[in-house]
Amino acid sequence: MLEFHSKKPPLYDPAHVQWMRDELVYVGFEEMLEPEIVEKRLNQKDDKVKLVFINSVCGCAAGSARPGVSLALQNTVIPDELLTSFAGQDRDAVDYIRNIFLKDFPPSSPSIALLRNGAVLYIMHRHQIEGRTAEQIAQDLIQVFNKYCSRTGPSIPREKYDKLVHAKACGQTIPLNDGK
């Protein structure tokens, strides 16, 4: 049974990063805000392929990663479940993901992983995202989706995707959380 009692506050003002969350929810992601939700969603032995996106305020990397993963989800084959937690925001949830499910990999945000039955099938680290376009990231993910996934895509209709506005900002310009 999971016992987790930490409650780390977000590092950044939640109102200033909400649009970075909304971008992923718009294309079909479910947020995992607490370790208990992470445990429930990722520790299932249900043979489903789960995409786990660790979101980030970093404008350089996450500014390409979010659009890249969104574009990849327009593929005809996609993961069964789309899940996300936000580094620096959902701090306990991200710690739990890293310590339990990604323990064999160095911490990285943003990062994109595919898991099945709690085991990592694929992971894309920040260093594999930085300096790359959304299209390049999407192409890599599409190859992985075609290899491991079977759910029919896209995650949202093309007409809805075409209305998506991608969140881009430098993390240095986002105010820190003042605890109020």
**Could you identify the residue written with the tokens 């959304």?**
134
Strand, coil or helix: 102: coil
Q: Strand 81-86 vs strand 49-55: parallel, antiparallel, or unpaired?
A: parallel
Largest CA distance in the chain: 46
**Could you identify the residue written with the tokens 């929810």?**
25
In sequence order, the β-bridge partners of residue 128 are none
Amino acid at 124: M
pLDDT in tens, 8-28: 999 988 998 999 999 999 999
| Euclidean distance between the first and the last CA atom of the chain, given in angstroms as a whole number | 33
Of 24, 58, 102, 115, the active-site residue reads 58
Measured CA to CA, the distance from residue 120 to residue 101 in angstroms comes to: 7
Instruction: State the pLDDT at residue 180.
Output: 46
Of 60, 100, 121, 174, the active-site residue reads 60
pLDDT in tens, 64-98: 999 999 999 999 999 999 999 999 999 999 999 99
The verdict on whether 60 is a catalytic residue reads yes
C-alpha radius of gyration, the chain, whole number: 15
Instruction: Say what the pTM is.
Output: 0.92
Q: Is the pLDDT of residue 60 over 80?
A: no
Q: What class is the 14-173 domain? A: alpha beta
**Segments making up each domain of the chain, as ranges:** 14-173
In sequence order, the β-bridge partners of residue 116 are 49, 119
Q: For residue 47, give Cα distances in angstroms to 37, 79, 80, 125, 145.
A: 18, 11, 9, 24, 15
The verdict on whether 58 is a catalytic residue reads yes
